[in-house]
Amino acid sequence: MKKIGVIRCQQTEDICPGTTDFIAAAQGKGAFAELGKCEVVGFVSCGGCPGKRAVARARVLIDRGAEAIALASCITKGNPLSFPCPHRDMMLQAIIAKVGEDFPILDYTH
C-alpha cells in the first residue's frame, strides 16, 4: 500500500474535513486508481495564498514517509467552493522543482 501525503487549500479547511480524500485514497479510486489503495500519512494545507508553504510541506510529508504527494481536489477542481486555486500551476511546478520530476505527484484526489 502506497503512502500518500495530501496538500489541501487552506481556504477550505473550515468547510471540508477531507473525508472524500481519505475515502478515495483508501479505496484506490479517483486519482489514486493509478496507485491502488493508499494510506494517507499526512494531510496539510498549502499554508494560504499564494501557496508558498506547499513546497516545504511537501518535503516534510516525504520526510515522514509519503511515497507520493497529492494536491487535493479543492486546489485543482475547486471543490467545494467551485473556485480552483489560481496559484495551482506555480505551486505544482515549485513542488516538482523541489522533489524532482520522478517523484509521483497526483494532480487531484477525487
Going residue by residue through the chain (110 aa), what tens digit of pLDDT does each one get? 999 999 999 999 889 999 999 999 999 999 999 999 999 999 999 999 999 899 999 999 999 999 999 999 999 999 888 899 999 999 999 999 999 999 999 999 99
CA-closest candidate to residue 4, choices 33, 32, 45, 46: 32
How far does the chain reach from its first CA to its final CA, in angstroms? 18
Its pTM stands at 0.94
- Residue 70 is predicted with a pLDDT of 98
CATH class of residue range 2-106: alpha beta
- Residue 80 is predicted with a pLDDT of 87
How far is it, in rounded angstroms, from Cα 76 to Cα 3?
21
Which class for 39: exposed (0-12), middle (13-18), buried (19 or more C-beta within 10 A)? middle
- Residue 5 is predicted with a pLDDT of 98
